């Protein structure tokens, strides 16, 4: 059987170890395991990489542990406006949505848009209308807002008022979710979803829905989903840069991904991380922050998850 493999991230804006007790961290790891299981079930049934990354991201969009969908970060007006993208490495087809106020699972809308084939990106209420037309769930905007994110917004606005923005923790600032997969047909795919960063300017769009920046997949090279300070991912076209280093310089997935995260983005002093997979099913998860929610399934079916430095093996 052709190798299959899966990797996910739940954002590099991970809290300090002391911010949760061990039961809380165990819950977060269990949620990562659920996302892995959803994507892995698709791959084991000979489903496509596109379907697998969508399934994994939907689990994280529906979980309050992550900054996407339900429980997404709030902008300066206290709104959750959502961004997502998906890309098929076999065809380079892609779909993306931005600043979406009501669609329950933006990654599903992005996939439907990709499959419709007319546009790559829709924004705002137009994306919600497209979702409704295609039978996808649309919620009241209040559905997405949680007490945890209200508190995070209050802290970030206090930092802004005091001029201490740079002292805020990565957990207070941002987070993202994403998935990458290799399917039994040898195809790659990537998907990313986010609420952006807490207290973001109204109308701001980050890298997650930008094809080639926060989301990219190309058969024969890699699939990439990023997390961190999106403005810099856009400027460095991070996903495409990693694929290009592999294609034109002959670097392997680990060398290319580490070069971009640890070297190219280092001068900016920003939080950055990503999950990437190559055509052999090798998954890498470099990050330069205190931690990153992440997980992967190796071709033999072993589940791995981590929040900080330690890696835990789960039963898949």
Q: Which residues are tagged catalytic?
A: 176
Nearest Cα neighbor of 77 from 167, 28, 150 is: 150
Cα–Cα distance measured from residue 208 to residue 105, given in angstroms and rounded to the nearest whole number: 14
Say whether 297 sits in a helix, a strand or coil. Answer: strand
> Do 54 and 107 form a contact (C-beta atoms < 8 A)?
yes
Say whether 144 sits in a helix, a strand or coil. Answer: helix
Where do we find the tokens 């998954």? 283
In which order are the strands placed within the sheet that holds 293-297?
121-123, 94-100, 82-88, 188-194, 177-182, 5-11, 293-297, 303-306, 311-314
- Which letter, b or e, does each residue of 118-153 get, where b requires 16 or more Cβ atoms within 10 Å of its Cβ? eebbbbeeebbebbeeeebebeeeeebbeeebeebb
User: Per the structure block, which two tokens stand in for 282?
Assistant: 């090798």
């Amino acid at each position: 059987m052709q190798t299959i493999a899966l990797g996910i991230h739940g954002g590099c804006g991970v809290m300090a170890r002391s911010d949760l007790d061990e039961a809380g961290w165990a819950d977060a790891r269990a949620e990562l395991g659920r996302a892995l299981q959803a994507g892995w079930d698709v791959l084991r049934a000979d489903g496509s990489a596109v379907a697998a990354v969508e399934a994994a991201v939907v689990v994280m969009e529906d979980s309050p542990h992550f900054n996407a969908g339900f429980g997404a970060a709030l902008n300066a007006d206290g709104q959750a406006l959502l961004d997502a993208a998906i890309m098929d490495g076999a065809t380079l087809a892609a779909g993306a949505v931005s600043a979406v106020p009501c669609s329950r699972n933006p990654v599903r809308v992005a996939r439907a848009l990709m499959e419709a084939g007319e546009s790559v990106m829709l924004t705002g209420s137009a994306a919600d209308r497209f979702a409704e037309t295609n039978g996808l769930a649309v919620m009241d905007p209040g559905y997405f807002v949680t007490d945890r994110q209200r508190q995070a917004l209050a802290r970030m606005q206090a930092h802004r008022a005091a001029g201490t923005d740079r002292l805020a923790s990565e957990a207070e600032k941002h987070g993202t979710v994403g998935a990458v997969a290799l399917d039994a047909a040898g195809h790659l795919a990537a998907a990313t979803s986010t609420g952006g960063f807490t207290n973001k300017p109204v109308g701001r769009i980050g890298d997650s829905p930008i094809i080639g920046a926060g989301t990219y997949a190309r058969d024969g090279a890699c699939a990439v989903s990023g997390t961190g300070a999106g403005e810099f991912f856009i400027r460095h076209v991070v996903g495409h840069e990693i694929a290009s280093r592999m294609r034109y310089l002959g670097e392997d997935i680990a060398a290319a991904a580490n070069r971009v995260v640890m070297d190219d983005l280092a001068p900016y002093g920003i939080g950055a991380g990503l999950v990437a997979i190559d055509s052999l099913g090798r998954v890498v998860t470099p990050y330069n922050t205190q931690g990153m929610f992440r997980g992967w399934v190796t071709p033999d079916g072993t589940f791995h998850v981590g929040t900080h430095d330690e890696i835990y093996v789960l039963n898949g």
